[in-house]
Structure 1
Amino acid sequence: MKNLRNILVTAFAVALILVIHSCTSSDDYLKFVDGGAISYTGKIDSLKFFPGRDRLKIKGLIISDPKVSQLRVYWNTKKDSVVIPINRTSGIDEVSSIIENLPENIYNFEVKTFDAKGNSSISQYITAQTYGTRYQASLTDRKIVSSKLSSDFSLTIDFATMDLTTGAYATEVVYTDNSNVQHAVTVPVTQNQLVVSNYKIGSKFKQRSLFLPVKTAIDIFYTDFVSKEPQVIDLTYMIKNNKRPFLTSSTDGGRWGTLADWTTNAACKNHGGYGGWDGGCCGNPPGTINLESGWGAPVITNGKIYQTITLEAGTYIFNAPLLASGSGLNSGYTLSDYVYLAVAKGSILPDSSGGVLETDPATLGFKRIVNTMNSESAIITFTITQSTQITLGISTTQGNERYGHFLSFSLFKKNN
């Protein structure tokens, strides 16, 4: 029995040796026999890849192994690789390097450290993505809802919201101020309005949007700069003495006066040589423009109050709100009168009698003022194709006991 047991033990040992030999190459066997135990280098710790434009940044820490002298990164089934030298110190060393020439794609990387004798660490595997022309082509600039240049030369831009999943994070606006100094302002994607002061009128601003495909990306992607004009430019400053309380050049010492900075013809000076400016009466506010006829004053035929300015080619809006509460338009000019807010080419407004202003070739735009209209509807839109001298104001032919109070004048240029 004892002999049988010895025979079985011997047979089992031989079988085990044969199995091990069949599963182990001759080189591996030599590693154990001739080379002793396998010597591995310490692997890189805290390994991370950061995506960029056709490139990646690799970062990590060499913590304990003083023998490590280089890091090797393989991809494309080891057909491509880079070697990153490592200069070890007595402490923890950070490895940080850029791998270039990685066209937009998803990559599977194998990473190993090596010492001077060629011993390597255990492999680490990591997947990372680069971004390039395809991502760039998907980007669109942030839309502008409105942009307006005010009379005080402050530019206000209202932006549309953006899809944050695209990586959008900011918009850059470049503009020139009245001292010809250029400024660049970065507007976060969470900010929907930008206001800049001292904007140079007549200039254009330009904008582009900034994107990070992921928050850890090392490269910023930009849309192309696009030059833009403010959609609306407030040119009201070009109209002198443009709102109540309107200023006078002279008065009769009482209710009536003549406007400063406006040309007022004789027909409108129907209150003893004064007219156009109303100091206030009958519950109406003082300092308005009011062309009143009747109640002892003559009717007005082809009366005109106007200013002359020069405008560049473009489309414009001329606006004059009127008083509609109380007496104002509610009992003012009727359809039997020819009272116009008007804009015309040249240095004087056309006549209004019989409505001839409406067909005069010099007329660029008009709004007939009647007591049934809305107080905010006295608006004229007109277009000129070249730099032109234009005249704007009021041209009126009105009967007995007529009046209407103008409160202000504004002028805007529309660019789109």
Structure 2
Amino acid sequence: MKNLRNILVTAFATALIVLIHSCASNADDYLKFTEGGAISYTGKIDSLKIFSGRDRIKIEGLIISDPKVSQLRVYWNAKKDSVVIPINRTSGIDEVSSVIESLPENIYNFDVKTFDAKGNGSVSQYITAQTYGTRYQASLTDRKIVSSSLSSDLSLTINFASMDLTTGAFATEIVYTDGSNLEHTVTVPVDQTQLVIPNYKIGTQFSQRSLFLPTLTAIDTFYTEFVSKYPQVIDLSYMIKNNTRPFLTSSTDGGRWGILADWTTNAACKNHNGYGGWDGGCCGNPPGTINLESGWGAPNITNGKIYQTVTLEPGTYVFKTDLLAGGSGLNSGWSTSDYVYITATSGTSLADSEGGALETNAATLGFKKIVNTMSPDAAEFTFVVNQTQQVSLGISLTQGQERYGHFLSVRLYKKNN
């Protein structure tokens, strides 16, 4: 029994000696890595953020607690690439902000560490960011315009289509010239669908491009190329003088009938004792209209013409009149046996209407026959001018007994696309 106790004591002593020797050996190994001292870590960057850009990123953060920090290192591509960002510490909180260039469009995993002057580093922080470049740029399309029209008061109205917001679209820029030859740039937010520009210079184009941010916090804005375009529709009604009711007169008979100011009225239309074409109002009809009435004591009208002559440049045009729709208008007006037209004719007069001759006349650029069964909104036609020339616009008619119909306005538009 005594021998067993001696054996156990000897074994315990031996194990204790081995353990002590092992600990001493491990301590020596630790010193190999710490060069005889404890590991020293610098304070890591706080509030670390990375922002995407065009083939680059921006890194931001705060140095708060460690006064020894002297630089920030950013690694990527498995630490094959890196940049060093110097840090000048003050007694307070220091902001770090730096842009890293030459990062072709891709997704990057960054390893971010601070260091002091002795080369002691912080614990790594890992953050991922994407850069954008030619592929993203190629995917962008300009915002579509639903319509653009220039009114006779020279205000340009542009109506925009909606956009896919997932593309990063946030605005459209419009560059235009005003009536004083001053250039302006207007930024239209993506949620705004209409822009009205006053004092637009007629005959000029406006330019458009759209703006994109691939992420809400991106540091670079992407743009589509500027595209120049004319307003799709230009209201040229101002070229036609005295073009809406109440129409003005150059003279009247002192009563209902008169002659239109600024218009050429031929003798056939002056079928009310030397007056005609202007109606001062009768029988519940509105005053100050264009009305060519035959019957009820007045002669029929054959090849009657009321028109104005303007000079038009090459282009596509729309000539339109607004007709009175009630019983005193189209419902009691011209039938298919009459030849009543709104028309455009090359030269300084209108083609004859009798028997429908106007429809085949080589000088006729366009026409619309007016009958009492048509919608008042249908009184328009489109015509093309191939070279700068004089064009006469107006009403050419041949009609029988008890015919009339009231014109409320006359309008001219140019279509660009």
What range describes the TM-score normalised by the shorter chain of this pair? over 0.9
* 2:294 corresponding residue in structure 1: 293
Establish whether residue 184 from structure 1 lines up as the match of residue 188 from structure 2.
no
- Write the deviation string for residues 276-311 of structure 1: whole angstroms up to 9, x where unpaired: 000011111111100011111111111110001111
- Write the deviation string for residues 192-231 of structure 1: whole angstroms up to 9, x where unpaired: 1111100111111111111111111000011111111111
* 1:354 corresponding residue in structure 2: 355
Specify whether residues 65 and 299 from structure 1 end up closer, same or farther in structure 2 by C-alpha distance, changes over 3 A only: same
Establish whether residue 4 from structure 1 lines up as the match of residue 8 from structure 2.
yes
* 1:238 corresponding residue in structure 2: 239
Establish whether residue 281 from structure 1 lines up as the match of residue 314 from structure 2.
no
Separation in structure 2 between the aligned mates of residue 6 and residue 180 of structure 1, nearest angstrom: 109
Q: Is the 8 A contact 1:284 1:326 kept in 2?
A: no
User: Is there any run of 5+ residues in structure 1 with no aligned partner, and where?
Assistant: none
Separation in structure 2 between the aligned mates of residue 17 and residue 172 of structure 1, nearest angstrom: 79
Specify whether residues 123 and 299 from structure 1 end up closer, same or farther in structure 2 by C-alpha distance, changes over 3 A only: same
Establish whether residue 93 from structure 1 lines up as the match of residue 129 from structure 2.
no
Q: Aligned-pair distance for 1:336?
A: 1.9
Specify whether residues 20 and 175 from structure 1 end up closer, same or farther in structure 2 by C-alpha distance, changes over 3 A only: farther
* 2:50 corresponding residue in structure 1: 49
* 2:410 corresponding residue in structure 1: 409
Separation in structure 2 between the aligned mates of residue 12 and residue 397 of structure 1, nearest angstrom: 132
SS at 1:355's partner residue? helix
Separation in structure 1 between the aligned mates of residue 60 and residue 6 of structure 2, nearest angstrom: 65
Instruction: Kindly provide the amino acid, as one letter, of the partner of residue 32 in structure 2.
Output: L
Specify whether residues 115 and 158 from structure 1 end up closer, same or farther in structure 2 by C-alpha distance, changes over 3 A only: same
Specify whether residues 390 and 209 from structure 1 end up closer, same or farther in structure 2 by C-alpha distance, changes over 3 A only: same
Q: Is the 8 A contact 2:240 2:308 kept in 1?
A: yes
SS at 1:351's partner residue? coil
- Write the deviation string for residues 54-107 of structure 1: whole angstroms up to 9, x where unpaired: 000000001011111111111111111101000011100000000000001111
What TM-score do you get using the length of structure 1 for normalisation?
0.95
Separation in structure 2 between the aligned mates of residue 257 and residue 221 of structure 1, nearest angstrom: 63
SS at 2:15's partner residue? helix
* 1:202 corresponding residue in structure 2: 203
Separation in structure 2 between the aligned mates of residue 351 and residue 13 of structure 1, nearest angstrom: 131
* 1:400 corresponding residue in structure 2: 401
Instruction: Kindly provide the amino acid, as one letter, of the partner of residue 53 in structure 1.
Output: R
* 2:223 corresponding residue in structure 1: 222
Separation in structure 2 between the aligned mates of residue 384 and residue 178 of structure 1, nearest angstrom: 26
Q: Is the 8 A contact 1:42 1:113 kept in 2?
A: yes
Q: Is the 8 A contact 2:46 2:62 kept in 1?
A: yes
Separation in structure 2 between the aligned mates of residue 135 and residue 13 of structure 1, nearest angstrom: 70
Specify whether residues 25 and 258 from structure 1 end up closer, same or farther in structure 2 by C-alpha distance, changes over 3 A only: farther
Separation in structure 2 between the aligned mates of residue 106 and residue 13 of structure 1, nearest angstrom: 57
Establish whether residue 166 from structure 1 lines up as the match of residue 170 from structure 2.
no
Q: Is the 8 A contact 1:43 1:62 kept in 2?
A: yes
Q: Aligned-pair distance for 1:335?
A: 1.9
* 1:79 corresponding residue in structure 2: 80
Greater Cα shift, 326-335 or 105-114: 326-335
* 2:18 corresponding residue in structure 1: 14
Separation in structure 1 between the aligned mates of residue 337 and residue 249 of structure 2, nearest angstrom: 30
Q: Aligned-pair distance for 1:412?
A: 1.0
SS at 2:359's partner residue? helix
* 2:140 corresponding residue in structure 1: 139
Q: Aligned-pair distance for 1:18?
A: 5.6
Instruction: Kindly provide the amino acid, as one letter, of the partner of residue 393 in structure 1.
Output: G
Instruction: Kindly provide the amino acid, as one letter, of the partner of residue 297 in structure 1.
Output: A
Provide the aligned C-alpha RMSD in A.
1.9
Q: Aligned-pair distance for 1:29?
A: 3.4
Instruction: Kindly provide the amino acid, as one letter, of the partner of residue 279 in structure 1.
Output: G
Instruction: Kindly provide the amino acid, as one letter, of the partner of residue 11 in structure 1.
Output: A
Specify whether residues 30 and 376 from structure 1 end up closer, same or farther in structure 2 by C-alpha distance, changes over 3 A only: same
Instruction: Kindly provide the amino acid, as one letter, of the partner of residue 276 in structure 2.
Output: G
Q: Aligned-pair distance for 1:337?
A: 1.5
Separation in structure 2 between the aligned mates of residue 384 and residue 21 of structure 1, nearest angstrom: 103
Specify whether residues 273 and 9 from structure 1 end up closer, same or farther in structure 2 by C-alpha distance, changes over 3 A only: farther
Greater Cα shift, 227-236 or 327-336: 327-336
Specify whether residues 20 and 82 from structure 1 end up closer, same or farther in structure 2 by C-alpha distance, changes over 3 A only: farther
Separation in structure 1 between the aligned mates of residue 24 and residue 304 of structure 2, nearest angstrom: 117
Q: Is the 8 A contact 2:31 2:37 kept in 1?
A: no
Separation in structure 2 between the aligned mates of residue 333 and residue 140 of structure 1, nearest angstrom: 51
Instruction: Kindly provide the amino acid, as one letter, of the partner of residue 263 in structure 1.
Output: T
Q: Aligned-pair distance for 1:31?
A: 3.6
* 1:266 corresponding residue in structure 2: 267
Establish whether residue 254 from structure 1 lines up as the match of residue 255 from structure 2.
yes
Separation in structure 1 between the aligned mates of residue 20 and residue 229 of structure 2, nearest angstrom: 83
SS at 2:207's partner residue? strand
SS at 2:355's partner residue? helix
Instruction: Kindly provide the amino acid, as one letter, of the partner of residue 303 in structure 1.
Output: G
Specify whether residues 378 and 17 from structure 1 end up closer, same or farther in structure 2 by C-alpha distance, changes over 3 A only: farther
Matches within 5 A, 1:262-341: 262-341=263-342
Specify whether residues 17 and 376 from structure 1 end up closer, same or farther in structure 2 by C-alpha distance, changes over 3 A only: farther
Separation in structure 2 between the aligned mates of residue 16 and residue 406 of structure 1, nearest angstrom: 117
Instruction: Kindly provide the amino acid, as one letter, of the partner of residue 317 in structure 1.
Output: V
* 1:29 corresponding residue in structure 2: 31
Q: Is the 8 A contact 2:278 2:288 kept in 1?
A: yes
Q: Aligned-pair distance for 1:317?
A: 0.7
Separation in structure 2 between the aligned mates of residue 14 and residue 144 of structure 1, nearest angstrom: 87
* 2:368 corresponding residue in structure 1: 367
Specify whether residues 181 and 376 from structure 1 end up closer, same or farther in structure 2 by C-alpha distance, changes over 3 A only: same
Specify whether residues 188 and 10 from structure 1 end up closer, same or farther in structure 2 by C-alpha distance, changes over 3 A only: farther
- Write the deviation string for residues 30-49 of structure 1: whole angstroms up to 9, x where unpaired: 244x4311111111111111
Q: Aligned-pair distance for 1:15?
A: 6.4
* 1:40 corresponding residue in structure 2: 41
Greater Cα shift, 118-127 or 185-194: 118-127
Q: Aligned-pair distance for 1:14?
A: 3.4
Separation in structure 2 between the aligned mates of residue 226 and residue 340 of structure 1, nearest angstrom: 40
Greater Cα shift, 199-208 or 5-14: 5-14
Matches within 5 A, 1:373-388: 373-388=374-389
What TM-score do you get using the length of structure 2 for normalisation?
0.95
SS at 1:321's partner residue? strand
SS at 2:127's partner residue? strand
